[in-house]
Amino acid sequence: MNFWLFKSEPSVYSIDDLKRDKSTPWEGVRNYQARNFLRDTVKNGDLVLFYHSNAEPPGVAGIARIVKEGYFDPHAFDPKSKYFDEKSKKDNPAWYLVDVGFVEKFDQVISLPMLKGTKGLEEMMVTKRGARLSIQPVTKAEWDIVLKLAGAKLAVK
DNA sequence: GCCAACGTTGGC
DNA sequence: GCCAACGTTGGC
């Protein structure tokens, strides 16, 4: 069981959109490091901090869960898609998707300043300068701290 | 809207 | 393989 932080701009796709949709393919990852996580490490049942970037305030808005682990991104093969990538071949796909399911929306966004000010989260990628990676691993200890901050209903196991 | 950080591209 | 140019991310 792994823990992650996935970033999304709420103007594009927010925790409320996920709540409405129940689950969604996590589209548009076009960064190789993030791709490697989606292809190799993100597994069914893994838990995800849903992070709102370019938001007011930026921060963790809720929890999601991996409901379908890495599979080829069909959009990369489709010339009409904005995610088309001619370098991605069917016998050697460049890009992968996972599906995430809605678990919980926090009553209050755990803002980036709050994360930065919390003991135990100093090493969390998202709190570091220039942490642009859109798929980030989170430790169990960090996960527990964020859920405690949120007063999350999901039991910390 | 600004701009620092940083990933990618492409000429050489 | 170096590195300048360029594009994107994302906090502020």
Sequence-ordered list of residues with C-beta below 8 angstroms from that of A135, at least 6 positions apart, any chain? A4, A5, A6, A7, A29, A31, A33, A34, A37, A38, A42
DSSP bridge partners of A5: A49, A136
Enter the DSSP assignment of A81: S
- The CA-based diameter of chain A, rounded to the nearest angstrom, is 47
The CATH number given to whatever domain includes residue A19 is 3.10.590.10
Strand B neighbours with CB under 7 A?
A: A 31-32, 129-132
* pLDDT string in tens for chain A (157-residue length): 999 999 999 999 999 999 999 999 999 898 999 999 999 999 999 999 999 999 999 999 999 999 999 999 888 887 777 777 777 777 677 899 999 999 999 999 999 999 999 999 999 999 987 788 999 999 999 999 999 999 876 655 4
Residue A108 belongs to what domain range? 3-143
Nucleotide nearest to A132 (CA to C1'): C9
Closest protein residue to C9 using CA and C1' atoms?
A132
Whether residue A130 lies inside any domain: the answer is yes
Confidence (pTM): 0.91
